[in-house]
Every structure is written in C-alpha cells, then in structure tokens.
Amino acid sequence: MLLPVFALVRRADVAEVIGAALAAKASGVGVRVIAELLGRPVETVRGWLRRFAARAEVVRRYFTVLLVDAGVDPAPPGTERTPFADAVAAVVGAWWSMTSRWTRIGTVSPWLAACAVTGGILLAPAWPGQTINTSRP
C-alpha cells in the first residue's frame, strides 16, 4: 500500500502534528501540555514521544548523514540537552541543508520532508538505518 507523503506508517495524525509534538518535547514542554495544545489524547502523544525517544540515536545519525550529504555547505547541529533534542535538531538541520540545495523543499515543513525521506517510517516499530530506493538498478 502506498502512503501519501504526509502520513507516517501506523499513525492517524499527519507528520506536521506529530513533528510539532516532537519539537515541543525537545524544547522541554511536558506531554500533557503538548497533548492539550494539539488537541490529542495524552496517551497518543506519549506513544509518539516514546517511540521517537527509543530510536533517537538512530534518527540522529541518519539525519546528520543526510544533512552532510545534501547540503551545499553543511553545518552539523550542535549538541542539545538530550538525545531526543539532538535527534530533533538533526531532522530540522537536514531540512535546512536540503533547502540550500533544493529551494522548493523550503515550502514544506521539516516534518513533511522527514516523512518523505524515511518513506513514512519515522515512528514505525522497526526503523532501518538505511532506506532502499527500488527505482535504481
């Protein structure tokens, strides 16, 4: 089944909503406040945050490599307060790096770009460190 580019595997909410929750958590906002701001159940938001936190280091490495590979003059993000915040910074940094090469990417959110880059598996149960492009020979 093909997913639209704004959808994450096994998630009912769009990438921008989930990304807003991840960015808020990286900024130090609590789960109950995030849930209230987004109008989502606390357990749903807690599930997003736990899933992302469980693979924060893998996500950070993946998007840092993307940041360096895609950027015209890349500058890897600095160290944040937590591994969770480091991973969020890498996602946003990769988006900025991609916009330096392909300016139209700047018309979408970092979370929509992250959804597209990962094929929708950003919060999937199994998150491979490498994606496969089947259109190449």
R_g over Cα of the chain: 14
The pLDDT value recorded for residue 89 is 93
What letter represents residue 111's amino acid? W
Token pair belonging to 88: 């969020």
The pLDDT value recorded for residue 33 is 97
The percent of residues above 70 in pLDDT, for the chain, comes to: 80
For residues 135 and 137, what is the distance between their CA atoms, to the nearest angstrom?
A: 7
Residue reference for tokens 């109008």? 39
pLDDT in tens, 84-96: 999 999 999 999 8
For residues 54 and 31, what is the distance between their CA atoms, to the nearest angstrom?
A: 16
Write down the pTM of the prediction: 0.80
Confidence band for 135, pLDDT divided at 50, 70 and 90: low
The pLDDT value recorded for residue 41 is 92
For residues 3 and 44, what is the distance between their CA atoms, to the nearest angstrom?
A: 20
